[in-house]
Amino acid sequence: MRPSYFKQWITAYPVLMRVCLYFILLSGLAPFGIFAMTSTYALSLAGAQPEDMSFALLVTYVGILVTLPVQFRFLRYFETRSYLLLNIIAGILLSAACMSISDMIFFTIIRFFQGIIICNIAGCMLIIIFSILKSEKTQVIGSSVFYGSILSSGALIGLAVSLVVPSYDWNRIYTYFMIYQVLTLILSILIFKAHTGHKRYPLYQIDWIGCILFITAGLTIAYTMIYGPKYYWFEDEGIITSALVSLITISCFVMRLLTAKRPLVNLDVFKHRNFILGLVLLAFYYGVKDSINLIYSYTAVVLRWETNDTLLLAMINVAGLVIAMALTAQLLLKYRHHITYFFLAGFGFMLIYHIIILEILTPDLSFADLIMPVFFQGAASGSLMVPIIVFTLSSAPSYTGTTGVVVAAYTRFTSTLNSVAGFYTLQLYYNQSHKESLLSGIIAENVMVMERLNSYGQSALNRTIIIQSQLLTIRSVFFFAAVSIAAVLILIFLLPSLNKTILHWNKRMFVLPRK
């Protein structure tokens, strides 16, 4: 029997129903945007450092990932409305807890549980959204809306948050968010049935040991990767211990997947070449996509823009994403047997974005100078996200259920770790290298330097060196990314398996697993 989620009155207004679903979905994704906008203010917590903020973000991902495979089982057991209401209420309580934060440890623990709630709400909405998408066309559009919301929610929520944070105590944003959550709670009661009529499957043989192993592995890997560059990696005993624990728990987790009757992940997906290729492309896409954060940091640190100006630039990025994703969704239906073209176009846009930044980067760029490259970055994300996701998930065999979705999420976590730690390490290396190069040219005999020292003073020169080394560092990172993208474009063009691939868009990629 097909589950019936909605009350009869709302089914007569399909557009309103979709708006309500999107409204509820955003309540699950909002903590990411709020965290991004308040992380600077959260640094006021006792002893908090920038690395602590990055670690807290990754802890959120650990909460999401450990919940993802298990919550699909929950959705086959609990009534959908009750499940959704419970998670929204838990989210409200966590928002209230955020208002009373007093130390970093408490903050990080809250972030873990927020990750669980984010996963539960977003996962629940994913199932509901695809239950109302009957045709293949609406499935493509639904995927674009869902994944587009994930990519753009940070900028959209951040823009709203920016209107509150500068004028009020930063904690007040949680008051407004709690009001929003209460509204979604009321909305859920109004539109969803108390009983959907779906067949309930008992909760048994859930691999809780595997969950514990994954949490331990995820937290220790995140700690190692985030704090490793700061403490010079294996010169620090804490990093050595963390790395060893992560290695042991990863090994035990893999062994658990091989021996458990109902493992969290079905490893058979890795027997399919295109699935692995899709994961590689997904990981690479997430890695080069995150270079946009260097531009946002550049506008704040070097150009000294106000937060609203940076967020307005981010909205240009979202505009590129939305336009490209809407066009890509339509073309996917018509040219599903030409997946190579989508990858070439998307990574081509990404290459253009990196090349433009390399050409124009100076200490005094205007808002207008950055519109085009940032728009191209958004267009690249819009052109790549859905095609790569669909290519990857459609390459997984049907009997593996939602394993494809879970492994794709694991890939996102790994890519985020690599981008955070990788960009941080590259910046440390290039910053030091460029600073030494610049300082080596400052000698007493250099008349121009002596004149500048006399005119502006030592502090002004120091800031000039810092800015120049930062600009050179960004250029070095972007050059490295551009060369990597160019290499990937060549490989995509040459791979014969991509040219023979026909996308199979069907609901089995999104339905709940059977018992």
Q: What is the pLDDT along the chain (515 residues), one digit of tens a residue?
A: 566 778 888 888 888 888 888 888 888 888 876 776 666 666 666 567 777 788 888 888 888 888 888 887 787 778 888 889 999 999 999 988 887 777 778 888 888 999 899 888 888 887 787 777 665 555 566 566 666 666 666 656 665 655 555 555 666 778 888 888 999 999 989 888 887 777 777 777 778 888 889 899 989 988 888 888 777 778 888 889 999 999 999 999 888 888 877 777 788 888 888 888 888 888 888 888 888 888 887 887 788 887 778 878 888 888 888 888 888 877 877 776 777 888 888 999 999 999 999 888 888 888 888 999 999 999 998 888 888 888 887 777 777 767 777 787 777 777 777 666 665 665 555 555 555 555 555 554 455 555 655 555 555 656 666 677 677 778 888 888 899 999 999 888 877 666 555 555 544 444 433 33
Q: What's at 331, amino acid-wise?
A: L
**Helix axis angle, 307-334 to 339-360, nearest 10°:** 160
Residues 368, 221 share a domain: no
Residues forming a β-bridge with 176: none
pLDDT confidence of residue 354:
92
Domain boundary among 206, 232, 251: 206
State the DSSP string of 112-160. Answer: HHHHHHHHHHHHHHHHHHHHS--SHHHHHHHHHHHHHHHHHHHHHHHHH
Residues 481, 338 share a domain: yes
Residues 338, 232 share a domain: no
pLDDT confidence of residue 89:
93
State the DSSP string of 280-328. Answer: HHHHHHHHHHTTHHHHHHHHHHTS---HHHHHHHHHHHHHHHHHHHHHH
Are the C-beta atoms of residues 383 and 342 closer than 8 Å to each other? yes
pLDDT confidence of residue 136:
58
Number of domains in the chain: 3
Exposure pattern of 142-151 as b/e (b: 16+ CB <10 Å)? Answer: bbbbbbbbeb
> Tokens 């080596």 sit at which residue?
440
Q: What is the CATH number of the domain that holds 184?
A: 1.20.1250.20
Kindly give, in sequence order, each residue whose CB lies less than 8 Å from that of residue 41, ignoring residues fewer than 6 positions away. Answer: 165, 170
Residues 252, 186 share a domain: no
Residues 147, 122 share a domain: yes
Residues 247, 346 share a domain: no
Count Cα neighbours of 28 within 13 Å in the Cβ-side half-sphere: 24
Domain range for residue 220?
Answer: 207-261
pLDDT confidence of residue 428:
58
Residues 183, 293 share a domain: no
pLDDT confidence of residue 182:
92
Residues 165, 234 share a domain: no
Residues 366, 509 share a domain: yes
Are the C-beta atoms of residues 59 and 105 closer than 8 Å to each other? no
Residue 276: its H or E element: helix 273-289
Give the CA dihedral 496, 498, 499, 500, nearest 10 degrees: 90
Residues 445, 491 share a domain: yes
Residues 229, 136 share a domain: no
Residues 212, 174 share a domain: no
